[in-house]
Structure 1
Amino acid sequence: MTLSAAERDRLADIVRLQPTKNSELQERWGLDSGSEVHSYLEEHLSDYYYRNENSYICATPEAADITGVEPGLEGGEDGPQVIRVPELEAQVFAVVAGPDDRSESVVSVLQKVRERFDADPDVDAVREALQSLRQKGVVDVVYRTVPTFKLAVERDSVDVETL
């Protein structure tokens, strides 16, 4: 299967962002819906992606070879050692409670991002960033009255690269 330049660029996005979901690709690609993302994947990239056990989109090893892009996640049995994430996810990783600290709410993480980075993301963006980091295995969720979050790994054990 020969890929056009546009298809190769979109495949590179999947490699960088994996595990990812329709909504992340929808935003990145400027599409109107998650259904449109799914249709594009099936029509153009079906040989180069799969859905993991949590239905997140992942690239095949061949996709990484074709694009020459480093995967969004590198590591071994001890967990990820390198994650490549958008800027907001890097900011969230930098401020969320550590693995030995009490977990915190999305709003608490939002306030810390606003204070430390002089940024103004909305609460839904921070919630999505936390969930994405959770899928990458570097953040845990603790269910109390509301879901709360903390690092699943030591902050200095993971190199964070911003896309």
Structure 2
Amino acid sequence: MGLDEEARERLADIVTLQPTKNKELQDRWGMESGSEVHQYLEHVLGEYYYRDDDSLIRATEKGVDLVDVEPSVPPEEEGGLPEMIRVPTLHAQVLDVLGGPEERSESVVSVLGKLREELDIDPDVDEVRSALQSLRRKSVVEVEYRTVPTFRLAVERDAFEVQTID
């Protein structure tokens, strides 16, 4: 059975966002809950996605081949640093202001303040938190747990290329 246009677009989202979580797809697809995302994945995209060892959602090779987009993190680079990541604009902006690997890690609120101050944008704090967690899953940001989770680049900025997808 073939996929309709909406299903192909959603599969392309998985390919470009992988590794990802239900919540990220829920926000992207405008669904009410993670359960709704799970049901959609199981019933519509079942043969085109899988969950990795960390329960993160990834496209199968068949799924990647079916859509005309490049994976954000190619499957052969799992666990390693990708040469290029494909991310939404806000994620790229977070990378622009986030401290480097030798700098002190920053809280979500600190990163939000830098986005407001340096880039004159005002995203929601939950969007910034989600962006940081997504970048962590792509291995370009690391988390340090202090009183609150704090973040910094895992590697130098020139170690990877960033391409925006929206």
Whether these two folds match at TM > 0.5 is: yes
Correspondence 1:9-48 to 2 at 5 A: 9-48=9-48
Q: How does 1:123-134 map to 2 (within 5 A)?
A: 123-134=125-136
Q: CA deviation at 1:5?
A: 1.6
TM-score, normalised relative to structure 2: 0.92
1:119: Cα distance to partner? 0.8
Aligned to 1:155: 157
The alignment yields a C-alpha RMSD, in angstroms, of 1.4
Larger mean CA deviation between 71-80 and 90-99 belongs to 71-80
Residue of structure 1 in register with 2:7 after alignment: 7
Matching residue's letter, 1:92:
V
| 1:46-57 aligned within 5 A | 46-57=46-57
Deviation at 1:25? 1.2
- Distance in 1 (CA, whole Å) between partners of 2:92 and 2:15 is 18
Q: Which runs of 4+ in 1 moved over 2 A?
A: 74-78
Instruction: Name the count of aligned residue pairs.
Output: 163
Distance 1:33 1:4 in 2: 22
- State how far apart, in whole Å, the 2-side matches of 1:144 and 1:25 are: 28
Paired residue for 1:92?
94
Contact 2:92 2:162 in 1 (8 A): yes
How far 1:78 moved relative to its partner? 5.2
TM-score, L = length of structure 1: 0.94
Percent identity over paired residues: 61
Q: Which moved more, 1:36-45 or 1:139-148?
A: 139-148
Bigger fraction of residues in strand:
1
Distance 1:100 1:62 in 2: 40
